[in-house]
Amino acid sequence: MTRPILYSFRRCPYAMRARLAVQSAGIEVELREIVLRDKAPEFLAASPKGTVPVLVDGGAVIEESRDVMVWALSRHDPEGWLDMPAEGHALIDQADGPFKQALDRTKYHTRYEDADPEVERATAMAWLDTLRPEPWLFGDRPTMADMAILPFVRQFAMIDKARFDVEASGLVSDWLERFLGSDRFAAIMPKLPKWQAGDAVTVFPF
């Protein structure tokens, strides 16, 4: 059986959301863990830009995490993640744009000459404060928007988790903790060795 191949990196939030969608869809893929400082040549041959996730399905190569999510969910969406208002896609755009920029300029502020991490942190928190997950962004069940955004909220929170827990709204804090404590999150986060050609196939979902 030839399965699609998903190149991933455990801690990357873009790769996390791709794995979340594949897991929800229940589509079996061959999961290949990439080490970003030592990228497998097969990975670079499939996607020379060298960023994860990358999904190879026959002759098709999908290089954007949101596109991987849609690829999986358009084939099987048992939880109805694609059933969300247009606002959901707009929220993902905001998370991938202004929020991610503020996140990076907080976490990696030494890379940016003009970055004030406190100003950037305040920008990120102000956006999070606009969210009203009750308990999810669009009601009583998660959608693609929740699962596309939460990995980045996690990344931001972990910059200083104690401070985040104090400063975040109760709704956002509870939303994140619900995600972090879920079987769903645990199921996409096992540690895997770096993949190299010749390794036994790792089938995901596990």
pTM for the structure as a whole: 0.96
What is the number of other CB atoms lying within 10 angstroms of the CB of residue 184?
Answer: 16
Model pLDDT, residue 136: 98
Model pLDDT, residue 189: 98
**Rounded distance between C-alpha atoms, residue 83 and residue 142, angstroms:** 10
Model pLDDT, residue 95: 98
**Domain extents in the chain:** 5-79+186-204, 86-184
CATH number for the region 86-184 comes to 1.20.1050.10
**Structure tokens of 106?**
């907080």
Give the tens place of pLDDT for each residue, 97-135.
Answer: 999 999 999 999 999 999 999 999 999 999 999 999 999
What does pLDDT average to over the chain?
97
Mean pLDDT (whole number) for 132-159: 98
**Rounded distance between C-alpha atoms, residue 195 and residue 73, angstroms:** 26
**Rounded distance between C-alpha atoms, residue 46 and residue 59, angstroms:** 10
Q: 5-79+186-204 has which fold? A: Glutaredoxin (3.40.30)
Backbone angles phi, psi at 11, to 5 degrees: -90, -5
Give the tens place of pLDDT for each residue, 12-32.
Answer: 999 999 999 999 999 999 999
Model pLDDT, residue 126: 98
* Ramachandran region, residue 51 (left: φ > 0; alpha: ψ -120 to 50; beta: rest): beta
The DSSP secondary-structure symbol of 97 reads I
Model pLDDT, residue 149: 98
Give the tens place of pLDDT for each residue, 43-70.
Answer: 999 999 999 999 999 999 999 999 999 9
Closest CA relative to residue 166, chosen from 116, 121, 115: 121
pLDDT at residue 163 greater than cutoff 90: yes
Model pLDDT, residue 9: 98
Mean pLDDT (whole number) for 160-183: 98
